[in-house]
Amino acid sequence: MTVRHLDYLFNPRIVALLGPAEPRDPVAAAVADGMRRAPFHGRLLVAEDTIEAVEALAEAPDLAILNGDLDRAPALIEVLGKKGCKVVLAVGAPPEDPAVVPAMVEAGRRNGVRIVGPGAFNLSVPAIGLQAVVSPVLPQPGRLAFITHSNGILDTLIDWAAGNGIGLSRAISLGAKCDVDLADILDWLALDHATGAIIMYLETITKPRKFMSALRAAARTKPVVVLKSGRHGPLPPSTTAIRRLADADAIFDAVLARAGCVRVEAIEELFDAAATLGFPGAAMGERLAIVANGYGAGLLASDHLLDRGARLAEFSSASLAAIATVPGLKSDQNPIDIGPDAQPERYADLLPILATDRGIDGILVIHTPSAVSSALSAVEATLRGFGTRRQPRLIACFMGETEARAARAALRASGIPTFSTPRQAARAIMHMVEYRRNQELLAETPPSIPADFTIDRAGVAEEIEQLRQAGREWVHGPDALRLLAAYGFPTVRPIFAATPQEAADHAKRIGATVVLKIATTDPIDKKTVGGVTLGLDEPEDVRRAAELMLRRVMTRAPQARIDGFTVEPMVIRPDGHELLLGFVEDEQFGPVIVFGNGGTACEVIRDRATALPPLNMALARHAIARTRVARLLDEGPGRPAVQAQAVELALMRLAQIAIDHPEIVELEINPMVADPSGVIVLDARFRLGEPSKPGSGRLAIRPYPETLEQAVVDDMGDHYLLRPIRPEDEVPLVRGVAKVNPEHLRLRFFAPMKELSHTFAARLTQIDYDREMAFVLMGEGPPGEAPWFGTGRLVCDPDGVKGEYAILVRSDRVGRGLGRLLMDRLIAYGRDRGLSEIYGEVLRENRTMLALATELGFTVHATPGEPDVVHVVLKL
């Protein structure tokens, strides 16, 4: 269950408040008081929380609030469900009897009742006067939605919003989440037109894949800001750096980065984000102009913005000329100092000039207390000078407390995000900038996968099974490198030596500087115990080093079973950089990729980024860019740039190993050396274990479903690959749609369309395979290059019950049976997914589609209020 009946939670017409007439529990008393104080726009029924009282209710409530002890809750839910109630808000804490909550869930499931809670004593919908809240303040209507796991945090947010003149669309604390969970609420709010931004406080995540899908869907439609507590949870015991670097907070960073959310670190940052993202037009570019009546305040603001990655806007020549005509400026450069003695009119004079400069994304107006320019008069001049413009964004910082408090209230009332310090303003501005960057990243078209991206999946699976049969847990050295080579990693080729003399003989045959390593199947850190020696030039040096190494390792790691040594040519790359990469299996989110600075100091430096598989080239590049070592990989003074594509491909290959082989629960490559010629892996190890879930079910994001690919032939004998769409298909899709007859496009999209915009095409190609499927007919060639001939799309509702289909075929291939091929595939897929029906909206004039739908067994229905559109339905 997901969004089923949640309309009745957030838009009820009839609410029943069930509980003692005089609640002894202070929380229940506060909820009852909030319901009575608020002017609820529907009908409020008040009754005791007894079966007799519920049965006697004059009407069936949409929403029932259980405001007493929950011991009788299962029986009450049973009666409420039979009466027609859709949702129960369980205010009380979970009862001591552990059997009560499961009985509540079962009663709800049996009778079609959704349950929020227990322990959910905050629900607010200000627009309809629904205020089942403990907070003494009743929030006003607005565009922000608050979701929390903590009632206390939600009370604080409500109080803060009311004190700062910020309205709410919805506010809810979820309590114990026995039925309705965070993903359900996110799915509903993503489609809620009254909600402009979502603010969340989280403690724990349940059902990770469901949560991830809902979070990604919501963040694509509106800003989602997240504060999470418990950032320093305990790490499981580990012997590898990769596991220690992938702590809980780093993994959650990967989750939010993949979803495109804005993450904040503290409650005050949550307030700042709410103050900016709650206003229309939340996204903003990074080019800022600053206007201040004090140079120090302007300079502080610029410092804070530059520290966070913003840029000071460069004024156009026209703007500079116009600024020069404004009298009395102390500085006409950015930041502009109008001077502490300036009259408010200078704000009004400057803002129209800056607002018309296309090189400016946002304007920060700063006012410090001044006897010459009162705060309120500065507000009036600011609003007059800026007018009703929506772009660039206007943000205000009115410093001080006495006069400034009223000025900030006036600005907020006019829809201008307002702050009291330059640091706070800069922090809030960067939330808007980060949101814009996230949206651009989500819509970025990944480059085509190189044609030589080949892997030996079957061979590696067979070798893993042999290793498991042999009882191996840790796999090091040549065995680990052989697996990586099968996935396309360039690696060194170590040679095994059973004795020091054999190691010397191998070194002699190599005839170059070599590296000597201890060979063991036990999970020891070779460098820590003295099991690695570099730069050995002579065979005799190798023999002596091996004898010394054996004694040293046996002393420092007496438990280790020593098999011998490995000898390999020493890789000498003067322009190389040592990198660390690998993955670990997280209990909640499955495999998590780690990338960062490599070598022995990787844990000291702790420069790493985390990412969730699957990856494409764009996602890999952005993960790399989040590290400090990425700057060293670029060209700089005295150093050439490394081959960036080779590093990105290494991350993609690593992600594919994580997807393909669930038996590998931990893999560490350290180091991989990158330089202008490419990459080479010098050492690696991995651990075998039992996967947490079979197949791809353990991944937080469903990977590309390769098993759904099939070869098909049209009625004219031409061959195609019918497969799920990929993000790399954007360019072929745009090119192919350009060859579709405008009339065919109108019939598909219900409006004239000449071409697909990048944003729309990205949305069509970057889909969540767990919720949506689009099959494409492609010609010969790799993803990103093969020609496109048609698409069949099926979008499932959040409950996974129904799916809406759409078909588009390239006009020069119409009449070849491709539409039928796509429809048959969608119907088969819908049956496999367990959908109850597939439906579509079709223009009456689209006789070809209506004939095909009728032939396939769809029934045709009129669409109320839309005479030109019919609704076609196929029951599965």
**How is domain 457-569 classified at the architecture level of CATH?**
2-Layer Sandwich (3.30)
Residue 308, amino acid: R
Mean pLDDT of 226-249: 78
Cβ-Cβ contacts under 8 Å for 852 (sequence gap 6 or more): 819, 820, 823
What is the number of residues in the chain? 876
Tell me, what's the pLDDT at 695? 79
CATH 3.30.470.20 range(s) for the chain read 577-698
pLDDT-derived band at 280 (thresholds 50, 70, 90) equals low
Q: Are strands 114-116 and 130-133 parallel, antiparallel or unpaired?
A: unpaired
Query: Are the CB atoms for 737 and 746 separated by under 8 Å?
Result: no
| pLDDT at 429 > cutoff 60 | yes
Specify the fold of 577-698. D-amino Acid Aminotransferase; Chain A, domain 1 (3.30.470)
Q: In the 8-state DSSP scheme, what is residue 314?
A: P
How far apart are the two ends of the chain, measured CA to CA in Å?
A: 19
What is the percent of the chain with per-residue pLDDT over 90, rounded to a whole number? 69
Q: How far apart are CA 788 and CA 792, in angstroms?
A: 12
Tell me, what's the pLDDT at 605? 83
| Edge-to-edge strands, sheet with 114-116 | 43-47, 14-18, 63-66, 87-90, 114-116
pLDDT-derived band at 591 (thresholds 50, 70, 90) equals very high
Token pair belonging to 135: 């907070």
CATH 3.40.50.261 range(s) for the chain read 6-277, 287-442
Average pLDDT, the chain: 91
Residue 212, amino acid: M
Cβ-Cβ contacts under 8 Å for 356 (sequence gap 6 or more): 319
Summarised one tens digit per residue, pLDDT across range 759-792 is 889 999 999 999 999 999 999 988 888 999 999 9
pLDDT-derived band at 111 (thresholds 50, 70, 90) equals very high
3-state secondary structure (DSSP) of residue 390: coil
Summarised one tens digit per residue, pLDDT across range 600-646 is 778 888 889 999 999 999 999 999 999 999 999 998 888 899 999 99
Reference 507, options 481, 455, 543, 469; nearest CA is: 543
**Mean pLDDT lowest for which of 190-194, 470-474, 553-557, 602-606?**
602-606
Summarised one tens digit per residue, pLDDT across range 405-420 is 999 999 988 889 999 9
Q: How far apart are CA 312 and CA 303, in angstroms?
A: 10
CA distances to 171, 748, 749, 765, 843 from 862, in Å: 38, 18, 19, 31, 11
Half-sphere exposure of residue 233: CA atoms within 13 angstroms, side-chain side: 16
| pLDDT at 565 > cutoff 70 | yes
**Where would I find the beta strands (DSSP E) of 347-434?**
362-367, 393-398, 418-419
Tell me, what's the pLDDT at 242? 85
Tell me, what's the pLDDT at 749? 85
Token pair belonging to 362: 């946002």
Mean pLDDT of 845-853: 94
Mean pLDDT of 45-51: 94
Q: How far apart are CA 533 and CA 722, in angstroms?
A: 53
Mean pLDDT of 712-725: 96
Summarised one tens digit per residue, pLDDT across range 802-842 is 999 999 999 999 999 999 999 999 999 999 999 999 999 99
Specify the fold of 287-442. Rossmann fold (3.40.50)
| pLDDT at 93 > cutoff 90 | no
3-state secondary structure (DSSP) of residue 169: strand
**CATH code given to domain 6-277:** 3.40.50.261
Apex 689 CA angle, 621 and 230, nearest 5:
60
For residue 838, list its beta bridge partners. 803, 874
Tell me, what's the pLDDT at 677? 94
DSSP string for residues in 508-533: HHHTS-EEEEEEESS---TTTTT-EE
Q: In the 8-state DSSP scheme, what is residue 839?
A: E
Sign (positive/negative) of CA torsion 598, 604, 609, 614?
A: positive
Percentages helix, strand, coil for the chain (3-state, rounded to 5) are 40, 25, 40
Residue 214 CB neighbour total at 10 angstroms: 27
| pLDDT at 512 > cutoff 90 | yes
Q: Which residue is it, tokens 């060979």?
A: 519
Class of domain 706-875: alpha beta
Q: How far apart are CA 764 and CA 729, in angstroms?
A: 9
